[in-house]
Structure 1
Amino acid sequence: MVVSQLRMTRRNGAVSAESPAKASTQTLPPDWEDEPPALSDFTQLPHKDFGKNQLIETNEEFKRSLRGILREFPPISYAFAYGSGVFPQSDASTSRITHSPHLNPPEAILKWQKGGGKMIDFMLATKFTQHFHSLNLNRHKDHYSFLGSLGSAVVSHVQDAYGAGAYFNPYITVNGTMIKYAVVNFQTLHRDLSDWDTLYLAGRLHKPVKILFEEPNIRVANQRNLLSAVRCALLLLPPTFSEKQLYSTITGLSYKGDPRMEYGSEHPKKIDNIVTHQIRNFRLLYHDLITSLPNVSYLDQQCFSKLDWMDDTKLDVRMSQDMDVERRGNMVRRLPKSFRQKLYFLYQRKFAIPGREFQEMLDESKDEDAEGGLKKQVGGAFDRRIAGEKDLPDMVARAVNQTVKWPATVQSFKGILTAGPVRAWRYLQEKREKGKQK
């Protein structure tokens, strides 16, 4: 276990955890973020263990059952299962589920869900959207609403052109198991992970998910996505905070501006429930990334006196971050491109920077160099000026809201078309029931 080999260092008087991965640069090699990925297989990753923090473990039989479900679909490039049907968001003893939605699921699914039973959510990424839907309509036309009768060209257009680029089919039974699955274009997923165009897809991967089919370029893009989530959360947090505050802030990013949260269509304690019941998986997902950053530290000695502290789900360790303007400016500069530009535009209005001067600043801050490679992302004068502003957390929150709100709203309305009125109404009613829970 990584934690059993933790080393202690002191930065600015605070104790920080340094994993063997950080010390030997095995999982996070220096400057890996500045190298544009164009990988054909996993042997070209920065290191053989690179990104394995993303591979959250589950019961092997449960994983095989999930993969068995995916084998009923046309070939895909990348897929993961997520949500409360995969990783619990409440105690089994307090679950209000009175019956299982599954007709005749594999025994492994019943055991993993401890008999209660919840619909399992999947995200399927394909490089050829229309081809996938053409094959899938031939196999499973009953999965689709009336849009399916209009053909794969219409279905793929609705998927790619509106909202966040996802096409959901809910309340589908495959291998006796009730599922909801979304189809996304591979490039749409990769772009959202890298640039945070909508945070709709990237936000789902901020939380523990079960990756079932992998692709090396997505693994690299998601590692950037996870590290960006840590940086963004740190810009929202005060100098000292708890571990759960950090993970709650990360989890909450993709919910800011989401109409489901604003209009009571989600459990009011959803974020807290996710973090509380998945704290160990959050640690496995983020610990190495946290320790790779020079400006955040663990403060509690028990992180080092207890070799198995990551397994202690009752522990909520204290953390701190360096508020130095230069270091925070570097974090601003390393935010995903689309999201960073929204933050820049907010400060352009605040500082009343003329359009031509601002455009020159944007050109200087481009991630790509003249030859198409990635430039080393070091904060410039504008980034440091932003980092020194007291309203930075508020501005970052506004940028998140701007990123999430419109795509999530359109995606919600699109669900009426893709799911069909009956299934869409059923889904809305179930969400409203969750919203009424305390």
Structure 2
Amino acid sequence: MYRILRPLSKCRPPSVLYGRRTYAAQPSQSTEYPQALPPDWEESLPSLEDFTQLPRDFGKNQLLETNEEFKRSLRGILRHFPALTYAFAYGSGVFPQSDATASRITHSPHPNPPEAILKWQKGGGKMIDFVLATRFSQHFHSLNLARHRDHYSFLGSLGSAVVSHVQDGYGAGAYFNPYITVNGTMIKYAVVNYDTLLRDLSNWDTLYLAGRLQKPVKILFEEPNIRVANQRNLLSAVRCALLLLPPNFTEKELYSTITGLSYKGDPRMDYGSENPKKIDNIVNHQLRNFRLLYHDLISSLPNVEYQDHQAISKAGWMDDTQLNVRLTQDMDPERRGNIVRRLPKSFREKVYFLYQRKFAIPGREFQEMLEQSKDEDAKGGFKKQVASVFDKRIAGEEDLPDMVAKAVSQTVKWPSTAQSIKGVLTAGPARAWRYLGEKRAKGKE
């Protein structure tokens, strides 16, 4: 019933059907960077059985490179967990958020890690974070409790039904076990339900999981529907950031805006549990990976373009971390209205509600508008979504960036707060207090 899906690089799609169109697989134009997106991919999203149903190289921008030995070490850790459908590693233990810190490391959290982890972390001073997605939460916890009872707090004694209820019923649907040693390596892992992950990537219910995948992560086990949903998530992040930015901006400003989405309203940022320079650190030290993630998506949008075409036409420009290319976007209300219309559904409705109050639209009239919007969403496979009169009206408002920022904060605040509170139960008071103390210490540094 459960299987680990292979990366796309091991599949062989000669000619693939995607929606109502057939795309013949073409030789890649570049061995270094992914190809452009196929046309109308957002409007053709069937339920996929395997990667051969995707166009060749679709979504490979998500497969960021690390050292091969390091990747094997991470996958070796995940072999200790049952029933995985999708998994990725993230955070500063995987992609550095500061300059080499080996000289400042006084104590490694890893008892006896593989040599590959020591080398990749330049001394092995970072706990490694994972997100593990499974199709059936209770089944996963039942198997995992049998193998690793010591990973769980006192909740584990209450059984897998209680653990899965706490996971799925509160906060953002994640269950964290921190300070766990596997293969001599200190890790923290979150268990999430496959459907919860898919919904958040598609609709931005909480931005808790979608926000993590908007930043560089190392995907270890894949699933084709998640790859498509995450591609939509990444494109939605660009669109949302454009609504927050002025007509002219730089690459770093764009990536900082995207990175900051999931931190708006996060209590850890408000109460000093995160480094206040965290966003800048992530972008400055992962600029190449942000380019690999987002360049093709940016190029696919009609309302934004790079100003320095000569700079981005040079071979290897993505490796030039001193380069900070400028971009410009079209502020025409119709074009920006199309951006609003194509935001994830749950998030877009929050923006709509904010403007309902501002415009004092009667409740019945507003509900009719929402119902019409849902009908149009249901037709997404056949008709490209275009801005309604209401979307264009919103797009012409000067306070649109403020309203979008407010909607982001509303989306993030309660799930993040509930997850922080839930952490006391899932990690146990001692480990939760230790984790909070380490986070606050990093913030002070």
Q: For 1:257-293, what per-residue CA distance to the aligned partner results, in whole angstroms no more than 9, with x for missing partners?
A: 0000011100110000000000000000000000000
Counterpart contact for 1:368–1:374, Cα < 8 Å: no
Counterpart contact for 2:102–2:123, Cα < 8 Å: no
Say whether 1:246 aligns with 2:254: yes
Instruction: Summarize the alignment of residues 80-229 of structure 1 with structure 2, pairs less than 5 Å apart.
Output: 80-93=88-101, 96-229=104-237
The match for 1:274 is: 282
Q: For 1:2-55, what per-residue CA distance to the aligned partner results, in whole angstroms no more than 9, with x for missing partners?
A: xxxxxxxxxxxxxxxxx979xxx964122111123300000111x111000000
Q: 1:369 to 1:284 in 2, by over 3 A?
A: closer
The RMSD of aligned alpha carbons is 1.7
Instruction: Summarize the alignment of residues 23-102 of structure 1 with structure 2, pairs less than 5 Å apart.
Output: 27-45=36-54, 47-93=55-101, 96-102=104-110
Say whether 1:308 aligns with 2:316: yes
Q: Tell me the TM-score normalized by structure 2.
A: 0.91
Q: For 1:150-204, what per-residue CA distance to the aligned partner results, in whole angstroms no more than 9, with x for missing partners?
A: 0000000000000000000000000000000000000000000000000000000
Letter of the structure 1 residue corresponding to residue 436 of structure 2: L
The match for 1:13 is: none
Counterpart contact for 1:119–1:178, Cα < 8 Å: yes
Residue 94 of structure 1, CA deviation? 7.7
Q: 1:374 to 1:106 in 2, by over 3 A?
A: farther
Q: For 1:50-82, what per-residue CA distance to the aligned partner results, in whole angstroms no more than 9, with x for missing partners?
A: 000000000111000000000001120000000
Question: In structure 2, how many angstroms separate the alpha carbons of the residues matched to 1:36 and 1:355?
Answer: 33
Residue 110 of structure 1, CA deviation? 0.5
Instruction: Summarize the alignment of residues 273-422 of structure 1 with structure 2, pairs less than 5 Å apart.
Output: 273-304=281-312, 306-366=314-374, 375-422=383-430
Letter of the structure 2 residue corresponding to residue 40 of structure 1: E
Question: In structure 2, how many angstroms separate the alpha carbons of the residues matched to 1:240 and 1:110?
Answer: 42
Q: 1:90 to 1:304 in 2, by over 3 A?
A: closer
The match for 1:3 is: none
Q: 1:318 to 1:249 in 2, by over 3 A?
A: same
Question: In structure 2, how many angstroms separate the alpha carbons of the residues matched to 1:69 and 1:402?
Answer: 36
Q: 1:238 to 1:371 in 2, by over 3 A?
A: closer
Q: 1:407 to 1:369 in 2, by over 3 A?
A: closer
Residue 368 of structure 1, CA deviation? 5.3
Residue 307 of structure 1, CA deviation? 2.1
Counterpart contact for 1:330–1:379, Cα < 8 Å: yes
Question: In structure 2, how many angstroms separate the alpha carbons of the residues matched to 1:356 and 1:128?
Answer: 39
Counterpart contact for 1:170–1:419, Cα < 8 Å: yes
Q: 1:367 to 1:234 in 2, by over 3 A?
A: farther
Task: Name the SS of the counterpart of 1:37 in structure 2.
Answer: coil
Task: Name the SS of the counterpart of 2:46 in structure 1.
Answer: coil
Question: In structure 2, how many angstroms separate the alpha carbons of the residues matched to 1:303 and 1:337?
Answer: 36
Counterpart contact for 1:27–1:51, Cα < 8 Å: no
Q: 1:354 to 1:76 in 2, by over 3 A?
A: same
Counterpart contact for 2:35–2:296, Cα < 8 Å: no
Counterpart contact for 2:105–2:123, Cα < 8 Å: no
Question: In structure 1, how many angstroms separate the alpha carbons of the residues matched to 2:314 and 2:381?
Answer: 44
Question: In structure 2, how many angstroms separate the alpha carbons of the residues matched to 1:296 and 1:95?
Answer: 42
The alignment covers a number of residue pairs equal to 415
Question: In structure 1, how many angstroms separate the alpha carbons of the residues matched to 2:341 and 2:95?
Answer: 33
Q: For 1:381-421, what per-residue CA distance to the aligned partner results, in whole angstroms no more than 9, with x for missing partners?
A: 00000000000000000000000000000000000000000
Q: 1:63 to 1:171 in 2, by over 3 A?
A: same
Q: 1:356 to 1:152 in 2, by over 3 A?
A: same
The match for 1:255 is: 263
Residue 371 of structure 1, CA deviation? 7.4
Q: 1:369 to 1:418 in 2, by over 3 A?
A: closer
Letter of the structure 2 residue corresponding to residue 221 of structure 1: A
Residue 434 of structure 1, CA deviation? 1.2
Question: In structure 2, how many angstroms separate the alpha carbons of the residues matched to 1:418 and 1:381?
Answer: 47
Task: Name the SS of the counterpart of 1:201 in structure 2.
Answer: helix
Residue 364 of structure 1, CA deviation? 1.4
The match for 2:18 is: none
Task: Name the SS of the counterpart of 1:121 in structure 2.
Answer: strand
Counterpart contact for 2:117–2:124, Cα < 8 Å: no
Question: In structure 1, how many angstroms separate the alpha carbons of the residues matched to 2:276 and 2:378?
Answer: 48
Residue 120 of structure 1, CA deviation? 0.1
Counterpart contact for 1:65–1:109, Cα < 8 Å: yes
Question: In structure 2, how many angstroms separate the alpha carbons of the residues matched to 1:342 and 1:71?
Answer: 40
Question: In structure 1, how many angstroms separate the alpha carbons of the residues matched to 2:103 and 2:208?
Answer: 27
Task: Name the SS of the counterpart of 2:66 in structure 1.
Answer: coil
Residue 424 of structure 1, CA deviation? 0.2
Question: In structure 1, how many angstroms separate the alpha carbons of the residues matched to 2:295 and 2:442?
Answer: 31
Question: In structure 2, how many angstroms separate the alpha carbons of the residues matched to 1:362 and 1:349?
Answer: 14
Letter of the structure 1 residue corresponding to residue 45 of structure 2: P
Q: Tell me the TM-score normalized by structure 1.
A: 0.92
Counterpart contact for 2:36–2:300, Cα < 8 Å: no
Q: For 1:89-126, what per-residue CA distance to the aligned partner results, in whole angstroms no more than 9, with x for missing partners?
A: 00015864311100111111111101142000000000
Letter of the structure 2 residue corresponding to residue 34 of structure 1: E
Letter of the structure 2 residue corresponding to residue 172 of structure 1: I
Question: In structure 1, how many angstroms separate the alpha carbons of the residues matched to 2:417 and 2:278?
Answer: 19
Letter of the structure 2 residue corresponding to residue 64 of structure 1: R
